[in-house]
Amino acid sequence: MALTLFDLTGRTALVTGSSQGIGFALAQGLAEAGARVVLNGRDEAKLTAAAMEIPGAATLAFDATDHDKVRAAIDAFEQAGTPIDILVNNAGMQFRTPLEDFPADAFERLLQTNVASVFHVGQAVARHMIRRGRGKIINIASVQTALARPGIAPYTATKGAVGNLTKGMATDWAKHGLQCNAIAPGYFDTPLNAALVADPAFSAWLEKRTPAGRWGKVEELVGACVFLASDASSFVNGHILYVDGGITASI
CB-based contact 54:27 (threshold 8 Å) = yes
Q: How far apart are CA 151 and CA 221, in angstroms?
A: 26
Question: What residues are labeled active site?
Answer: 155
- Spatial strand order of the sheet with 178-185 comes to 58-59, 36-39, 12-15, 86-89, 135-140, 178-185, 240-243
Long-range contacts formed by 233-237: CB under 8 A, 24+ apart: 233/136, 233/179, 233/181, 234/179, 236/179, 236/181, 237/170, 237/174, 237/179, 237/180, 237/181
Provide the 10 A C-beta neighbour count for residue 205: 12
